[in-house]
């Protein structure tokens, strides 16, 4: 009996069941048992059974960050080979049966495209390129559907999947492939896949080019994913689609997040509540929209080098690292200048300093990791790090302190992540500043509202409110949403990084949860207090924004007086 081995899966763990199923499917394929119509129905049934197991283990792989390296590799290998084996079986069936136009052809095509797409995703999960010739193979399936005139017929590939079309399934794979160079994290890849699944079923693929409508195309005769249409000559092998509807959805999601509006549709709620929603949507907006796209080309070649650096990852750790360096520098200046003090006075100062809880080198480096810089130019750095891939992401703020320049921390943002030999990552960093330092900030608007609310609602006399003294006290780098004081990074005008207009303006990097473009803030830069408003956002990511500010005149209202 065909697929009798399916009963044996019930007593196995998920990974073993997938590995065993792959072996048995391979053995059955060699026996050429799938051309029998009864066996095709049995294949569909066993595929649906294992599909549930594969979906479950894939979800665990994506969402659990602390899997052992050995288990990660075993899962990735098992699931990829399973999808490959299933794809090969469906592809052979399509080759043999397509001329006869069986009723099940559309399901075979949908499942073949699905398994090919899953193979691509599993490569992307581990920062690897798509499998060789996979785009040609997908285009071959597309052309079969086109010839059979079933591209826009609705189909459900698996019982738990949304109804879609073969056109949509092909677009989903090709558009996902267009993001290969961006090194998305696993959760981001999954988020993009779900967005494409929901937003593309009504998009049509056309063979005639319309310059006013079409934005992307694929060459069915080449092994390449979707490409943006630029100056090119249309060919018969090209296929085109309009992506404006998806770009409108991206804009809508960003607006819902910005104005804190909860949509009615459950899928939209899920999208905007995802922890990676903002950075992912911002990148999609840049890569896919008509207006935002800017082709990235490195204008300056990086010079090869080899030197070690202390590296901090994320806004909070980078701020902390810079703050500790500033404190150490102040301490050194204080110790080196003794003025006209007597020997006994200098000795007393030296003795007291031993008991102070000032920063020290060991404590300073607790939040930092060692990295090796392998190439650099005035605009960026390339480095190797042994940081786990789950702990770094595109758009993450990073601080780099070179071993022989410990008083200078370079601030940058991660633009690329690639795995290299030895379980290390190659990280590409775009520099934002070589002279950034921490400044204290207070949301005056929020503090005034908070003080007024406390004064009105408290039944206790002399209830303390936010004062200027509190502004001068130490505050957290990220704080929490109920706090009004926080630390941000000040980026002076930067002329050492060439051809970067935005860096020739003074700017601030602020925690996202403290940003409100309508509020007024008091900041202290090098001992000078000023009231400012944030006028323009230069870039923003999951937990920080870089903004331009303008100084506002201080008005001595009753609310202001309560803060001074």
On whether residue 2 sits in a domain, the answer given is no
Say which DSSP state 26 is in: H
- Mean pLDDT of all residues in 494-516: 79
pLDDT at position 90 over 90: yes
Alpha helices in 6-68 (DSSP H): 14-30, 37-63
- Whether 389 and 537 map to the same domain: the answer is no
pLDDT bracket for residue 500 (50, 70, 90): low
Angle, helices 186-199 vs 37-63, to 10°: value is 130
pLDDT at position 343 over 80: no
Surface-to-core class of residue 366, CB atoms within 10 Å of its CB (0-12 exposed, 13-18 middle, 19+ buried)? exposed
Alpha helices in 200-242 (DSSP H): none
**What pLDDT was estimated at residue 99?**
87
**What pLDDT was estimated at residue 561?**
40
- Greater confidence (474 vs 305) lies with 305
Tokens of 198: 């929901």
Domain end residue (candidates: 241, 264, 280):
241
On whether residue 407 sits in a domain, the answer given is yes
Residues 392-409 have pLDDT tens digits of 888 899 999 988 777 789
- Whether 424 and 323 map to the same domain: the answer is yes
- Mean pLDDT of all residues in 458-482: 48
- Whether 314 and 218 map to the same domain: the answer is no
Measure CA 416 to chain center: 10
Domain end residue (candidates: 377, 404, 434):
434
> Among 125-134, 170-179, 193-202, whose mean pLDDT is lowest?
125-134
Residues 533-555 have pLDDT tens digits of 999 888 888 789 999 999 987 65
pLDDT bracket for residue 194 (50, 70, 90): very high
On whether residue 338 sits in a domain, the answer given is no
- Whether 441 and 416 map to the same domain: the answer is no
Tokens of 482: 């109920």
Tell which residue, 158, 79, 148, has the closest CA to residue 113. Answer: 158
**What pLDDT was estimated at residue 339?**
58
Tell which residue, 212, 64, 124, has the closest CA to residue 14. Answer: 64
Q: Which helix (H) or strand (E) element contains residue 192?
A: helix 186-199
Q: Which helix (H) or strand (E) element contains residue 382?
A: strand 380-385
Integer Cα distance of 477 and 480 in angstroms:
9
Q: Which helix (H) or strand (E) element contains residue 428?
A: strand 424-433
What stretches of 501-543 adopt beta strand conformation (E)? 507-511, 521-525, 528-540
CATH number of 391's domain: 2.40.10.220
- Whether 386 and 444 map to the same domain: the answer is no
| Radius of gyration of the CA atoms of the chain, in A | 29
**What pLDDT was estimated at residue 232?**
81
In degrees, to the nearest 5, what angle opens at C-alpha 156 toward C-alphas 152 and 161?
A: 125
pLDDT at position 289 over 80: yes
Residue in the block written with tokens 């100062």: 349
Integer Cα distance of 154 and 165 in angstroms:
5
Tell which residue, 158, 165, 109, has the closest CA to residue 138. Answer: 109
On whether residue 45 sits in a domain, the answer given is yes
- Whether 172 and 317 map to the same domain: the answer is no
Integer Cα distance of 32 and 25 in angstroms:
11
On whether residue 317 sits in a domain, the answer given is yes
**Domains identified in the chain, total number:** 3
326-340 burial by CB neighbour count: b if 16+ within 10 A, else e? eebeeeeeeeeeeee
pLDDT at position 316 over 80: yes
Residues 118-136 have pLDDT tens digits of 999 999 998 888 999 999 9
On whether residue 47 sits in a domain, the answer given is yes
Tokens of 93: 């069936």
210-232 burial by CB neighbour count: b if 16+ within 10 A, else e? eeeebbbbbbbeeebbbbeeeee
- Mean pLDDT of all residues in 410-431: 88
**What pLDDT was estimated at residue 482?**
56
Residues 140-156 have pLDDT tens digits of 999 999 999 999 999 99
- Greater confidence (22 vs 286) lies with 22
Tell which residue, 540, 548, 552, 551, has the closest CA to residue 512. Answer: 540
**What pLDDT was estimated at residue 391?**
85
- Whether 535 and 404 map to the same domain: the answer is no
pLDDT bracket for residue 215 (50, 70, 90): very high
**What pLDDT was estimated at residue 293?**
57
- Greater confidence (199 vs 538) lies with 199
- Whether 120 and 152 map to the same domain: the answer is yes
pLDDT bracket for residue 378 (50, 70, 90): confident
- Whether 525 and 544 map to the same domain: the answer is yes
- Whether 128 and 22 map to the same domain: the answer is yes
**What pLDDT was estimated at residue 127?**
84
Output the CA–CA distances (angstroms, integers) from residue 204 to 221, 454, 511, in the order listed: 20, 58, 42
Output the CA–CA distances (angstroms, integers) from residue 136 to 113, 174, 506, 555, in the order listed: 12, 11, 49, 67
Task: Note the residue count of the chain.
Answer: 564
On whether residue 357 sits in a domain, the answer given is no
> Among 70-79, 94-103, 294-303, whose mean pLDDT is lowest?
294-303
Domain end residue (candidates: 220, 241, 262):
241
- Structural domain that includes position 69: 14-241
On whether residue 411 sits in a domain, the answer given is yes
Residue in the block written with tokens 């599993």: 122
Q: Which helix (H) or strand (E) element contains residue 123?
A: helix 105-125
Q: Which helix (H) or strand (E) element contains residue 308?
A: strand 303-313
- Whether 408 and 443 map to the same domain: the answer is no
pLDDT at position 60 over 60: yes
- Whether 411 and 448 map to the same domain: the answer is no
């Amino acid at each position: 009996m065909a697929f009798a081995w399916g009963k044996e899966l019930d007593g196995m763990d998920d990974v073993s069941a997938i590995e065993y199923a792959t072996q048995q499917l391979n053995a059955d394929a060699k026996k050429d048992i799938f051309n029998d119509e009864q066996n095709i129905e049995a294949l569909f049934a066993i595929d649906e059974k294992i599909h549930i197991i594969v979906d479950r283990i894939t979800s665990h792989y994506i969402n659990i960050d602390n899997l052992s390296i050995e288990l990660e590799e075993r899962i990735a290998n098992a699931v990829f080979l399973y999808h490959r084996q299933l794809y090969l079986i469906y592809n052979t069936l399509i080759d043999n049966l397509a001329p006869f136009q069986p009723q099940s052809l559309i399901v075979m095509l949908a499942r073949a495209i699905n398994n090919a797409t899953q193979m691509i995703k599993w490569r992307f999960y581990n920062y690897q390129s798509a499998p060789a010739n996979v785009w040609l193979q997908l285009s071959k399936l597309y052309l079969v559907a086109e010839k059979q005139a079933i591209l826009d017929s609705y189909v459900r590939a698996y019982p738990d999947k949304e109804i879609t079309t073969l056109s949509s399934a092909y677009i989903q794979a090709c558009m996902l492939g267009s993001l290969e160079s961006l090194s998305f994290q696993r959760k981001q890849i999954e988020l993009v896949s779900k967005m494409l699944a929901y937003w593309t079923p009504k998009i049509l693929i056309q063979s005639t080019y319309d310059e006013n409508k079409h934005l992307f195309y694929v060459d069915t005769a080449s092994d390449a994913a979707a490409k943006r249409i630029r100056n090119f000559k249309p060919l018969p092998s090209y296929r085109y689609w309009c992506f404006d509807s998806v770009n409108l959805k991206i804009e809508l999601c960003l607006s819902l997040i910005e104005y804190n509006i909860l949509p009615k549709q459950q899928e939209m709620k899920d999208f905007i509540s995802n922890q990676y929603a903002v950075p992912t949507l911002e990148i999609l907006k840049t890569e896919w929209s008509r207006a935002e796209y800017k082709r990235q080309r490195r204008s300056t070649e990086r010079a090869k080098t080899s030197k070690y650096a202390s590296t901090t990852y994320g806004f909070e750790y980078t701020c902390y690292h810079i703050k500790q360096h500033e404190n150490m520098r102040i301490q050194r200046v204080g110790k080196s200048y003794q003025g006209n003090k007597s020997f006994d006075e200098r000795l007393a100062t030296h003795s007291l300093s031993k008991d102070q809880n000032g920063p020290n080198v060991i404590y300073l480096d607790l939040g930092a990791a060692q990295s090796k810089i392998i190439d650099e130019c005035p605009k960026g750095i390339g480095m190797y790090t042994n940081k786990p891939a789950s702990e770094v992401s595109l758009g993450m703020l990073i601080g780099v302190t070179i071993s022989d320049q410990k008083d200078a921390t370079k601030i940058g943002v991660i633009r690329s992540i690639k795995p290299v030999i030895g379980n290390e990552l190659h990280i590409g960093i775009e520099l934002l500043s070589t002279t950034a330092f921490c400044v204290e900030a207070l949301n005056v608007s929020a503090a005034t509202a908070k003080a007024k609310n406390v004064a009105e609602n408290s039944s206790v006399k002399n209830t303390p409110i936010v004062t200027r003294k509190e502004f001068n006290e130490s505050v957290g780098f990220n704080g929490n949403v109920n706090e009004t004081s926080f630390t941000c990074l000040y980026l002076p005008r930067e002329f050492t990084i060439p051809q970067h207009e935005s860096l020739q303006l003074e700017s601030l990097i602020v925690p996202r949860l403290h940003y409100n473009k309508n509020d007024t803030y008091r900041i202290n830069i090098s001992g000078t207090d000023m009231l400012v408003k944030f006028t323009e956002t230069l870039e923003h990511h999951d937990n920080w924004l870089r903004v331009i500010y303008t100084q506002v005149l201080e008005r001595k209202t009753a609310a202001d007086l309560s803060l001074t």
